[in-house]
């Protein structure tokens, strides 16, 4: 069904097949989503994926806030070897930890965010502290002024991507968060990639008018390691294409807690997010975020309890937003960056709300908040 719908949309016109489908799902009045793959009701081109259950102990899964790997529901797509979709494997309450980290901790210095482009450093030191009261009291009117957290579009971790040179470098690196590294290592190991090193991360912050342009993640020097993607909050449509933009992509839903792994053949495929959607439960927040953490966390858990006050702020933010964490290994074991003597500075990004230049294979994925994409 999904492939047939895509084919029907890509037979005519001068645009490439990917761009045409992107524009179709980007339209605000699109109500026909029958062509979108829903992994919660697998069928058609969806196949089961085998995981490496013995590679992650139940204890390590619990420490990362995950169910035992034997209980995960993992799928692939015919025609996309190396692509793995894991339906929300998080234990009750554990998604809340990652949401809080993405809003309260990870945007802090020395990490880099889009607001650094046009604000003085002292103004971006504590985005959470400057935003929490405004967010907590926020009403439903779209005319209310936005808090700094609501203006956040991206944060980079570890090796910070240089948006000017489209490269990573040894001289722009800060410590990668240990909790997120541990989570990523468990997911990678379960998918057959033991020894994965979480070296760089890009956190994208979406609202209902946001999109993510068509791109390929190819700036990492080691493409043998997977790209991991974690989603929290409202839902989205994700498009996964081919090695060329002339190949029609497959559309699929991503819901809160879902994880995608792009590896092997699928590691360098074109992909995009044309649309953020309200969650399928029809409630302000997805039901999987309703439950708090149990009181007895395992020894060595990287998950922390969130105060009711903190979660109120996070919940208000997520009522109209989606957070995505993409984690990657930049260098192979023992690999070093090439000579960087010709590289200038640490340029970070084009303007906050600029469009993707979609004719560039290496244009990095920066959420686009314009509505005419």
Task: Answer yes or no: are the C-beta atoms of 87 and 40 closer than 8 Å.
Answer: yes
Is 215 marked as a binding-site residue? yes
- Taking residues 119-139, what's their average pLDDT? 90
Judge whether 97 is annotated as a binding position.
no
CATH of domain 15-328: 2.60.120.590
pLDDT above 90: residue 314: yes
Give yes or no for a contact between 329 and 222, defined as CB atoms under 8 angstroms apart: yes
> Which pLDDT band holds residue 340 (cuts at 50, 70, 90)?
low
217 marked as binding residue: yes
How many CB atoms neighbour CB 151 within 10 A? 17
pTM, to two decimals: 0.88
| pLDDT tens per residue, range 352-362 | 333 333 333 33
Following DSSP, what letter does each residue of 32-49 receive, concatenated?
--TTSB-TTS--TTEEE-
SS3 content of the chain, % helix, strand, coil (to 5): 25, 20, 55
């Amino acid at each position: 069904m999904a492939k047939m719908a895509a084919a029907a949309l890509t037979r005519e016109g001068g645009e490439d097949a990917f761009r045409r489908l992107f524009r179709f799902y980007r339209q605000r009045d699109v109500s026909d989503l029958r062509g979108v793959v829903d992994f919660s009701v697998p069928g058609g081109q969806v196949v089961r994926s085998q995981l490496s259950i013995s590679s992650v102990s139940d204890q390590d899964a619990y420490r990362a806030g995950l169910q035992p790997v034997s209980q995960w529901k993992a799928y692939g797509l015919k025609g996309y070897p190396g692509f793995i979709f894991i339906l929300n494997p998080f234990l009750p309450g554990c998604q809340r930890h990652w949401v809080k980290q993405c809003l309260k901790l990870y945007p802090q210095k020395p990490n880099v965010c889009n607001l650094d482009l046009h604000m003085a450093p002292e103004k971006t030191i504590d985005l959470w502290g400057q935003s929490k009261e405004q967010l907590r009291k926020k009403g439903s009117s779209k005319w209310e002024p936005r808090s700094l957290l609501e203006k956040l579009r991206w944060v980079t971790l570890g090796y910070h991507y240089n948006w000017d040179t489209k490269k990573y470098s040894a001289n722009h690196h800060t410590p990668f968060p240990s909790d997120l590294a541990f989570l990523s290592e468990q997911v990678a190991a379960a998918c057959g990639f033991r020894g994965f090193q979480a070296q760089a991360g890009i956190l994208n912050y979406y609202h209902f008018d946001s999109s993510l342009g068509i791109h390929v993640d190819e700036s990492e020097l080691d493409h043998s390691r997977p790209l991991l993607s974690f989603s929290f909050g409202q839902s989205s449509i994700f498009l996964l294409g081919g090695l060329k933009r002339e190949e029609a992509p497959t559309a699929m839903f991503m819901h809160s807690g879902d994880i995608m792994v792009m590896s092997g053949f699928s590691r360098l495929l074109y992909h995009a997010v044309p649309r953020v959607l309200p969650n399928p439960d029809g409630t302000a927040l997805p039901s999987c975020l309703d439950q708090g953490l149990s009181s007895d966390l395992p020894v060595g858990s990287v998950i922390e309890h969130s105060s009711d006050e903190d979660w109120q702020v996070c919940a208000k933010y997520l009522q109209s937003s989606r957070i995505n964490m993409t984690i990657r290994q930049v260098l192979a074991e023992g690999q070093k960056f090439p000579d960087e003597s010709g590289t200038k500075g640490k340029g970070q990004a084009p303007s906050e709300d600029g469009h993707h230049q979609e004719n560039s294979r290496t244009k990095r994925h920066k959420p686009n908040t314009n509505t005419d994409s």
